[in-house]
Structure 1
Amino acid sequence: MNLVWQRFTLSDLPLSQWRSSSYLYRLVGPLQAWRQSSWLMQWAEGIGAGLISLVFALAPFVANELVGVLLLASAGYWVLLTLSDNTRTAATPINLLVLLYWGIATVATAMSPVKNAAFTGWTKLTLYLLFFALMSRVVRSPRLRSWLITVYLHVALIVSVYGLRQWFFGAAQLATWVDPTSTMSKTTRVYSYLGNPNLLAAYLLPAIALSLAALFAWRGWMPKALALTMFVVNTACMILTFSRGGWIGFVLIVFVFLVLQLFWWSVYLPSFWRKWSLPLLLGSLALVLTLTVAFVDPVRDRVGSMFAGRGDSSNNFRINVWTAVIKMIEDRPILGIGPGNTAFNKVYPLFQVSPRYSALSAYSIVLELAVETGFIGLSCFLWLLIVTFNQGVRQLGRLRKFANGEAFWLMGAIAGMLGLLGHGLFDTVWYRPEVNTLWWFMVAVIASYYNPPRLLMGSHPDEQD
């Protein structure tokens, strides 16, 4: 059974043999001579980190079109790096599955009933995945990884501070985000620079996870105090979005991060705590959540609305959208309609329940993946998730042997991914560039810790640089 699991998760995949025999990999490196003689390319990875930093620094504040231009520049730079590669940067199982998913999305685009619209979505998807490819290469350097995380955390702090300002001084509600018949109809939902509280909540979830990690990864009292400030401010702002999906994501982040912490410290714990720490953790979290729901009125009202069914207008809208989306999936179950919201907007009106329930997306990333790329694409994406989390846990165990503090960033990335997935089960702001770039950043961070199977025995984790 263990062998089957290793094969399924590609844990023992001989990538070095694949590279030596792959026609695709022979495209890597034809411009090596130019790179060796180029003065500018001496700082190739640093330039890549600069482009990624620009995306993180500007995404919450500028139009999506400008972010698209930066993603295009990043994609072009990745192509240049690949063609001039003189190090033969190792591929990972995660990268291969991302490539497979892109291939499935490409076939889905070619088979789409609305090819032109699907091609628009395919172009956006390609830019995101090339951005991931650049990030997974750059963040293999612990120094650049730490730099990019620090840039994002500081930008997220600015976004959160402005969100808290909206809470204290008021902000115009740009849309009806709360059921007007509920007791929370007059409650301010902060949205900061992003214009949408659900989008803001998703944007802040990785910041919450990484600021938790920074508490352990950053050295010195001042950096740790800054990390604690970031965690408190980001969490407060996220809570004040009153995004139910965001709250689900937050609970998942805290739970997963604490579980990974228990795994990390378990080798130092007495036998009693090794046995009972996880049950005590689960009981404590359940108690805190129960008390919060019981005694904090806004939280009780918002959590209660999750179980109100069609009695809540937001729930009712989503249920009607999901009903139509399921019909869309039944109509094209194999490869879907093609990627992107443009294709979705072309096909959805043919299946919508009534003109009152128009939608821009499926309001669930699981349904969105199924409707865009069919069950083939959804299965591939789920496989990617399993392989990614498996690699994360494997590498965490490896780093624990050497007591390497870089492991805390790995914990933050795993928790951040699960938080975004929890949020995305009931929303699709995951597809917005402010969030999607962060999602692939979390995946890239996990991929950056990969060591080929032949190096797993007796190699020091810092040797990957």
Structure 2
Amino acid sequence: MVKTSKKMQTIIPLCLAIITCVLLFNIPLKLFILIFGGILVGILSIYNINIGIAISIIGLPFIPDELSLIFIIFLVGVFLFNQLYREDYSIRGSFMGIPIIIFVLAIIISTITSTNPTGSFRDLAIHLSALGFLFIIVNSVKNKNELNVLLTTFTFVATLVALYGLYQYKIGINIEAKWVDKASNPDITTRIFSVFGNPNIFAEYLIMSIPISISLFWTSKKILKKIIFLLTSLILTIALILTFSRGGWVGFVFGIFIFILLVEKRLLLSLIPIGIISVFIIPNSVLNRIMSIVNLNDTSNSYRIRLWKITLDVIRDNWVVGVGFGHLPFKQTFETYIRTMPTYHAHNTFLEITAEMGIIGLIILLTMLFVTYKYSIKNLTKQQDKYLKVITAGLLAGLSSVLCHGLVENILYMPKIIITFWTVIAFIFVTIRLSEKCDNVRS
């Protein structure tokens, strides 16, 4: 098996080199550079799957969704191919994987039984690809150093995305009128969205990233690294503020509360004076935006409340198995209830899942999340390795932040956010496995 594997590692790059030479003389230069870059990325991923994982994380915010999904599928194929030619073939599994498997089966069945199977397939393909990415991360990251490299890559990429958002604020980029109710928020002229096209979607990405950056700052021993991750955390937080996403702000505060609760409970008391001082120093535009959260006359709030009421009607009529997995079956069904209010999703992840997959789908999702939190916190509380403890807390805080935001947005709608969501869960699974490994070594 080992000899065969070595032969394949020689043959594949050789074949790719021949193909590259042929292409060079038959296609335009720009297209050749694109293809050559793709081939190089492919070779690096074959050489080391962790390089491919890092490249996927780097490219996710910037390249088209279709390319991200194709590359992830390619990585899954590379991983499975490598496993077949390994003498020590093994796939890591645990009890935590069972709810994921059940969830996969549920979304496949919900796609088959959907009111619009073709429409459901879009979301099915995205989720299966993202779950495939989870699978290779869990089975490829073998130690703390590899995990740290990927988390650092994730943080730097998020910071780069945030910096582009800050540039948008500096130049005063135009925004859609529906993003701000001028009657409630007269001072807001710009909401940044970076590469995500929408401030709320950008906020979802940021609130999963900030706790990771903070946890890397917390665990860094060298002063230079602490300064670097302090800067990334500040840049990401400023970008979140400038999205003016109220759901993102609430999710972020909830995530930080979870982080402090898991890492250092004594800091909870410090949140009170910080909150009081903030009232006097934050700009009026931010303060007014915060106050508008409870303003039912705000157009965004009134729109969501009306949307939720109609979604509850959809759920009431399809409460067992839902209308079918994905936003398209929901959209088509929703618009049979009211034609003057077109929408793409329910602006609430849990209502959306219930409408799509019924109460059974909601129970499966909540069970999967419960198992993830249960085993993560169980390992965290008994963990003596500071790095793994803080990193786990940061990942759980990021997951908690976006789930909290999910009360007012459908976080499982845009491909980039879906992939990031499952990537964060993948990292959580890795920390649990590494924690168990540390426990076995000590025992």
TM-score when scaled to structure 2?
0.84
TM-superposed CA distance for 1:59, in Å, is 2.0
Matched with 2:405 is: 423
The alignment yields a C-alpha RMSD, in angstroms, of: 2.8
TM-superposed CA distance for 1:115, in Å, is 1.9
Matched with 2:288 is: 301
Deviation track 1:442-462 (CA, whole Å, cap 9, x = no partner) reads 211111133599x6896237x
TM-superposed CA distance for 1:102, in Å, is 0.7
**Is residue 439 from structure 1 mapped to residue 421 from structure 2 by the alignment?**
yes
TM-superposed CA distance for 1:128, in Å, is 1.5
Matched with 1:170 is: 172
TM-superposed CA distance for 1:80, in Å, is 2.9
TM-superposed CA distance for 1:213, in Å, is 0.7
Match of 1:369 among 343, 346, 353: 353
**Is residue 450 from structure 1 mapped to residue 432 from structure 2 by the alignment?**
yes
Instruction: Report the AA paired with residue 308 of structure 1.
Output: N
CA distance in 2, matches of 1:34, 1:432: 41
Q: 3-state DSSP class of the match of 2:195? A: helix
CA distance in 2, matches of 1:122, 1:444: 18
Matched with 2:334 is: 348
> Judging changes above 3 Å, is the alpha-carbon distance between structure 1 residues 211 and 32 closer, same or farther for their aligned structure 2 residues?
same
Match of 1:237 among 231, 236, 239: 239
Matched with 2:56 is: 55
Instruction: Report the AA paired with residue 167 of structure 1.
Output: Y
TM-superposed CA distance for 1:244, in Å, is 0.5
Instruction: Report the AA paired with residue 434 of structure 1.
Output: K
Matched with 1:158 is: 160
**Is residue 390 from structure 1 mapped to residue 371 from structure 2 by the alignment?**
no
Matched with 1:144 is: 146
CA distance in 1, matches of 2:422, 2:327: 19
Q: 3-state DSSP class of the match of 1:360? A: coil
TM-superposed CA distance for 1:237, in Å, is 0.7
CA distance in 2, matches of 1:283, 1:49: 41
Matched with 1:113 is: 115
Matched with 1:412 is: 394
* Contact 1:338–1:372 under 8 Å retained in 2: yes
**Is residue 335 from structure 1 mapped to residue 337 from structure 2 by the alignment?**
no
> Judging changes above 3 Å, is the alpha-carbon distance between structure 1 residues 398 and 244 closer, same or farther for their aligned structure 2 residues?
same
Match of 2:211 among 206, 209, 212: 209
> Judging changes above 3 Å, is the alpha-carbon distance between structure 1 residues 89 and 138 closer, same or farther for their aligned structure 2 residues?
same
Q: Kindly report structure 1 stretches of 4+ aligned residues shifted beyond 4 Å.
A: 31-38, 40-46, 81-85, 455-458
Match of 1:197 among 196, 199, 216: 199
Q: 3-state DSSP class of the match of 1:389? A: helix
CA distance in 2, matches of 1:83, 1:104: 28
TM-superposed CA distance for 1:284, in Å, is 3.3
**Is residue 92 from structure 1 mapped to residue 75 from structure 2 by the alignment?**
no
Instruction: Report the AA paired with residue 376 of structure 1.
Output: I
CA distance in 1, matches of 2:115, 2:438: 50
CA distance in 2, matches of 1:417, 1:83: 33
Q: 3-state DSSP class of the match of 2:243? A: coil
Q: Superposed, which structure 2 residues align to 1:128-143 within 5 Å?
A: 128-143=130-145
Matched with 2:260 is: 258
CA distance in 2, matches of 1:399, 1:127: 32
Which 10-residue stretch deviates more, 35-44 or 152-161?
35-44
CA distance in 2, matches of 1:404, 1:34: 42
Matched with 1:27 is: none
Matched with 1:292 is: 278
TM-score when scaled to structure 1?
0.81
* Contact 2:211–2:395 under 8 Å retained in 1: yes
CA distance in 2, matches of 1:432, 1:399: 35
TM-superposed CA distance for 1:257, in Å, is 1.2
Match of 1:379 among 360, 363, 366: 363
CA distance in 2, matches of 1:243, 1:367: 20
Match of 2:185 among 180, 183, 187: 183
TM-superposed CA distance for 1:136, in Å, is 1.7
* Contact 1:153–1:230 under 8 Å retained in 2: yes
Matched with 2:441 is: 460
TM-superposed CA distance for 1:55, in Å, is 2.3
Which 10-residue stretch deviates more, 183-192 or 386-395?
183-192
* Contact 1:93–1:387 under 8 Å retained in 2: no
Matched with 2:124 is: 122
Unaligned runs of 5+ in 2: 13-42
Matched with 2:344 is: 360
CA distance in 1, matches of 2:71, 2:5: 23
CA distance in 2, matches of 1:359, 1:248: 24
Q: What percentage of aligned pairs have identical amino acids?
A: 25
> Judging changes above 3 Å, is the alpha-carbon distance between structure 1 residues 384 and 174 closer, same or farther for their aligned structure 2 residues?
same
Unaligned runs of 5+ in 1: 1-30, 264-276
> Judging changes above 3 Å, is the alpha-carbon distance between structure 1 residues 240 and 458 closer, same or farther for their aligned structure 2 residues?
closer
CA distance in 1, matches of 2:285, 2:142: 43
CA distance in 2, matches of 1:82, 1:343: 38
**Is residue 68 from structure 1 mapped to residue 69 from structure 2 by the alignment?**
yes
TM-superposed CA distance for 1:161, in Å, is 1.3
TM-superposed CA distance for 1:119, in Å, is 2.5
CA distance in 2, matches of 1:257, 1:322: 30
TM-superposed CA distance for 1:203, in Å, is 1.0
TM-superposed CA distance for 1:225, in Å, is 0.7
> Judging changes above 3 Å, is the alpha-carbon distance between structure 1 residues 79 and 43 closer, same or farther for their aligned structure 2 residues?
same
TM-superposed CA distance for 1:162, in Å, is 1.7
TM-superposed CA distance for 1:193, in Å, is 2.1
TM-superposed CA distance for 1:290, in Å, is 4.4
> Judging changes above 3 Å, is the alpha-carbon distance between structure 1 residues 390 and 198 closer, same or farther for their aligned structure 2 residues?
same
Aligned pairs, how many?
410
Q: Superposed, which structure 2 residues align to 1:307-322 within 5 Å?
A: 307-309=294-296, 311-322=297-308
* Contact 1:118–1:338 under 8 Å retained in 2: yes
